[in-house]
């Protein structure tokens, strides 16, 4: 049996490693991605890397924002949007939580929202900078909330919604984050991928009032009964479906490589799927070479130690 500690460690490292694995392949169409057996931190010779000067094994904005969220939760002992927004700005402006303090990948809406925060917009409003923006920038970072949270499902859903507001406030983003967090919680309890997903959907249907905007987003935008298909885009629903699709693979390595193989937003989709695969499989199933070669562990490990102290 996989212990809760092993699952938390797996989710934590699974997100960061999935992000780092996908970084070199970002923006690449699926037909140009190397075969699964050749996907690694360092792509095969001759592959045109997205960020040629970023060393192999480096996480991007996904991992940095996830660490900023976790640090805020651990420091404030609750979700404090003012504190979280300040930490996102510290990443954006000074490279806090980034490996080598190097910020090399910032989503357009995220940048605009953080510029709004810097100009005085409240973090509850900054994510409306693009009212119809439905990118995956809030979903990619939310997993630490589920790993840390000890409240009810209703409280977890509310906090998942609220953390989205800082950069991606549209209800589609909020509901995707809530579904992902409850799904992660079910995997932490030992449920399998598909049963956990269906139970998370059932839970949201119980929590959201019928006729509410959140209920409508769940049923008519996410459409949870639809078969999971994905084209690698940065659309938040597509990224959620990519996680469900790739999590049909039998182990962590195959999940994240399959997420990269979809192409395009490879780092984010591998981070989103990788976090859940790490919970499902436990840290021992993450390839040792990736755990060893991931850069920036001196930033991440102290936060993981603090997380385990409050989450176990």
Confirm or deny that 231 is annotated as ligand binding: no
Confirm or deny that 60 is annotated as ligand binding: yes
Confirm or deny that 62 is annotated as ligand binding: yes
Confirm or deny that 100 is annotated as ligand binding: no
Both structure tokens of 164? 């989205």
Which CA distances in Å does 201 have to 114, 115, 184?
31, 34, 12
Distance CA 129, CA 114 (A): 10
For 235, the 3-state DSSP assignment is strand
How crowded is residue 275: how many other Cβ atoms within 10 Å of its Cβ?
34
Q: Is the separation of the CB atoms in 263 and 22 below 8 Å?
A: no
Query: Using the 8-state DSSP alphabet, how is residue 9 labeled?
Result: H
Distance CA 275, CA 253 (A): 12
Confirm or deny that 192 is annotated as ligand binding: no
Q: Is the separation of the CB atoms in 273 and 14 below 8 Å?
A: no
Question: Which of left, alpha, beta for 57 (phi over 0: left; psi -120 to 50: alpha)?
Answer: left
- 10, with CB counted inside 10 A (0-12, 13-18, 19+), is buried
Provide the residue count of the chain. 312
Confirm or deny that 32 is annotated as ligand binding: no
For 35, the 3-state DSSP assignment is coil
Annotated binding site for Mg(2+): 60-62, 265, 267-268
Annotated binding site: 60-62, 265, 267-268
């Amino acid at each position: 049996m996989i212990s809760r500690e092993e699952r938390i460690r797996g989710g934590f490292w699974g997100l960061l490693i999935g992000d780092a694995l996908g970084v070199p392949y970002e923006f690449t169409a699926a037909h140009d991605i190397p075969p699964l057996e050749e996907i690694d931190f360092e792509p095969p010779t001759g592959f045109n890397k997205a960020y040629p000067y970023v060393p192999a094994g480096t996480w991007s904005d996904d991992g940095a924002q996830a660490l900023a969220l976790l640090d805020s939760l651990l420091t404030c002992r609750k979700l404090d949007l003012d504190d979280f927004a300040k930490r996102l700005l510290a990443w954006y402006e000074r490279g806090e939580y980034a490996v080598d303090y190097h910020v090399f990948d910032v989503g357009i809406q995220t940048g605009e929202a953080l510029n709004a925060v810097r100009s005085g917009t409240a973090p509850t409003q900054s994510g409306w900078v693009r009212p119809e923006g439905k990118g995956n920038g809030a979903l990619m970072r939310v997993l630490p909330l589920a790993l840390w949270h000890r409240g009810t499902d209703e409280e977890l859903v509310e906090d998942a919604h609220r953390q989205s507001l800082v950069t991606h406030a549209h209800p589609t983003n909020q509901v995707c984050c809530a579904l992902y967090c409850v799904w992660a919680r079910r995997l932490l309890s030992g449920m399998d991928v598909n049963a956990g997903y269906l139970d998370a959907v059932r839970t949201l249907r119980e929590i959201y009032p019928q006729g509410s905007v959140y209920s409508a987003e769940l049923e008519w935008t996410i459409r949870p009964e639809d078969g999971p298909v994905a084209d690698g885009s940065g659309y938040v629903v597509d990224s959620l479906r990519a996680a469900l699709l790739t999590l049909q693979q039998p182990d962590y390595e195959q999940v994240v490589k399959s997420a990269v193989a979809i192409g395009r937003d490879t780092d984010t989709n591998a981070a989103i799927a990788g976090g859940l695969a790490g919970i499902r499989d436990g840290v021992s199933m993450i390839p040792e070479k990736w755990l060893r070669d991931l850069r920036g562990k001196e930033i991440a490990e102290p936060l993981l130690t603090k997380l385990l102290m409050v989450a176990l």
